[in-house]
């Protein structure tokens, strides 16, 4: 007997079987059915069928095992025919099979993270880690394990306004991330909550009106404000801020490498100065990772994430934190001074990233 074997695909069992019948007739025998990936990620049904090349195959003399297999395959065909006519429930061979439940669970966790703004590759790593660490297959166990996986990627530090030792803190970062407003919020908390003496310094003489902006904050809070245009005037400003517990330095958000390097070198000439890298959560994970690389020359010791209230995917801050490998000191989520700035805590950040 000459056998003809072909494979057919359809969007569902009915359309796949109709393709088989159109090509091979009602005498075709189904060898295998399975779900496969189709165009644009859609699932399809694939049927492999066989038909004899002879018009009247002679069953006489067939081995018993062949006869049994043929009978079994013919029953599969009858099941499919019954399914097409609505006379029987969907045959088991055609039902979607969950051959790897853990893979489905990991996919759900990864998709949840992606929807929260986490980049796909990092989301996949976290989902697999959560799956390995889950105490059980339930949603609660998976959620707890996912929160723990996210928490393990986050390091936090105290905010600049806490502590009694003298500190000189410069906020650095791209243009438009809110460095000047963040400085005002930090200064207000230092004055009101920690009862510290504060001094403000700006080296941002590049942007029009930048120095006037921070001077206005200084006037409102009744703290001294200094403008430094070069190394000598910066040293003078720091010297004149000698009685302050906290000296906050505002910087220009330059983008060209030469200007970034020059400003970094200027700041590093001040002994004991700390750089805090400010990144805008609303800019997305890719841009924040790129910014963290651009500002690597500043050798920042802390991170601040701003504008979480404007971010559609707050999980993007996780990508920046992993890239920069820096502890997070605080976050901001609005324009109000000083209300919209908060110390960074592990639990708080996890809730922001995962959505509660």
- Is residue 208's pLDDT more than 70? no
pLDDT at 61 over 50: no
pLDDT tens string 252-285 = 887 788 888 999 999 999 999 999 999 999 888 8
Let me know if domain 167-354 sits in CATH 3.40.50.300: yes
User: How far is Cα 100 from Cα 115, in angstroms, rounded to an integer?
Assistant: 23
- Out of 40-54, 68-82, 205-219, which region has the weakest mean confidence (pLDDT)? 68-82
Rounded CA separation 156/179 (Å): 19
Query: For residues 99 and 101, what is the distance between their CA atoms, to the nearest angstrom?
Result: 6
Q: Assess whether pLDDT exceeds 80 at residue 95.
A: no
Q: How many helices (H) and strands (E) does the chain have?
A: 12, 11
Mean pLDDT in residue range 172-195: 92
Give the pLDDT score at 158.
Answer: 93
Lookup: tokens for 333: 């989520």
Asked if residue 72 has pLDDT above 70, the reply is: no
- Beta-carbon contacts of 255 under 8 Å, excluding residues fewer than 6 positions away, are 174, 175, 294
Parallel/antiparallel/unpaired status of strands 273-280 and 341-343:
unpaired
Q: ω before 145 within 30° of 0 (cis)?
A: no
Of 56-70, 114-128, 169-183, 222-236, least confident by mean pLDDT is 56-70
**pLDDT attached to residue 32:** 72
Residue with tokens 């003489």: 205
Give residue 60's pLDDT: 44
Q: What's the chain's average pLDDT? A: 81
Q: Which residues of 305-338 are buried (b: 16+ CB within 10 A; e: fewer)?
A: bbbbeebebbbbbbbbbbbbebebbbbbbeeebb
pTM of this prediction? 0.68
Which sequence spans correspond to the domains of the chain?
3-94, 101-151, 167-354
Residue 92 confidence class, pLDDT cut points 50, 70, 90: very low
Q: How confident is the model at residue 349 (pLDDT cuts 50, 70, 90)?
A: very high
Residue 178 has pLDDT above 80, yes or no: yes
CA distances from 164 to 148, 185, 194, 262, 282 (A): 33, 18, 8, 31, 33
Q: Bridge partners of 246?
A: 167, 198
> Among 27, 41, 336, 321, which residue's Cα sits nearest to residue 178?
336
Percent of the chain clearing pLDDT 90 (strictly above): 35
pLDDT at 96: 42
Confidence of residue 11 (pLDDT cuts 50, 70, 90): confident
Residue 59 has pLDDT above 90, yes or no: no
One DSSP character per residue, 148-159 reads HHHHTT--B---
Q: Which of the given ranges, 70-74, 240-244, 321-325, has the highest pLDDT on average?
A: 240-244
Calculate the CA dihedral of residues 226, 231, 232, 234 and round it to 10 degrees: 20
- Tell me what the mean pLDDT of segment 289-305 comes to: 90
For the residues 45-56, what does the mean pLDDT come to? 68
Task: Residue 190: name the closest of 168, 212, 209, 214 by CA.
Answer: 168
pLDDT surpasses 90 at 302: yes
Q: Has residue 306 got a pLDDT over 90?
A: yes
Q: Are 201 and 306 in contact (CB under 8 A)?
A: no
Which of 126-135, 182-191, 311-320 is modeled with the greatest confidence? 182-191
Residues 196-219 have a mean pLDDT of 83
List of residues 6+ apart from 332 with CB closer than 8 A? 178, 181, 182, 185, 304, 305, 306, 307, 308, 340, 341, 342
Q: How far is C-alpha 271 from the chain's CA centre?
A: 37
pLDDT at 77: 53
């Amino acid at each position: 007997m000459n056998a003809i074997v072909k494979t057919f695909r359809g969007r569902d069992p009915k359309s796949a079987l109709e393709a088989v019948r159109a090509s091979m007739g009602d005498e075709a025998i189904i060898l295998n059915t399975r779900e496969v990936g189709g165009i644009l990620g859609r699932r399809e049904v694939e049927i492999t069928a066989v038909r004899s090349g002879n018009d009247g195959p002679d069953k006489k003399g067939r081995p018993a095992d062949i006869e049994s297999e043929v009978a079994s395959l013919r029953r599969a065909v009858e099941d499919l025919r019954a399914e097409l006519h609505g006379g029987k429930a969907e045959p088991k061979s055609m039902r979607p099979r969950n051959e790897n439940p853990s893979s489905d669970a990991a996919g759900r966790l990864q998709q949840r993270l992606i929807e929260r703004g986490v980049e796909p590759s990092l989301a996949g790593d976290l989902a697999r880690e959560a799956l390995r660490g889950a105490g059980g297959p339930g949603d609660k166990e998976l959620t707890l394990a996912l929160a723990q996986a996210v928490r393990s990627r986050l390091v936090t530090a105290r905010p600049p306004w806490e502590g009694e030792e003298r500190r000189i803190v410069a906020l650095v970062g791209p243009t438009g991330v809110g460095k000047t407003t963040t400085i005002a919020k930090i200064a207000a908390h230092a004055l009101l909550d920690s009862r510290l003496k504060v001094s403000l310094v700006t080296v941002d003489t590049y942007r029009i009106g930048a120095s006037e902006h921070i001077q206005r904050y200084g006037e409102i809070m009744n703290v001294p404000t200094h403008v430094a245009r070069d190394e000598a005037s910066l040293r003078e400003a720091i010297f004149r801020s000698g009685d302050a517990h906290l000296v906050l330095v505002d910087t220009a958000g330059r983008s060209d490498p030469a200007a970034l390097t020059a400003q970094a070198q200027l700041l590093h000439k001040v002994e004991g100065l700390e750089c805090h890298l400010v990144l805008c959560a609303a800019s997305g994970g890719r841009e924040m990772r790129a910014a963290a690389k651009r500002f690597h020359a500043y050798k920042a010791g802390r991170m601040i994430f701003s504008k979480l209230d404007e971010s559609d995917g707050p999980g993007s801050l996780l990508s920046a934190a992993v890239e920069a490998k820096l502890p997070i000191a605080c976050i901001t989520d609005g324009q109000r001074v000083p209300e919209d700035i908060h110390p960074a805590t592990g639990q708080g950040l996890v809730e922001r990233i995962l959505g509660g």
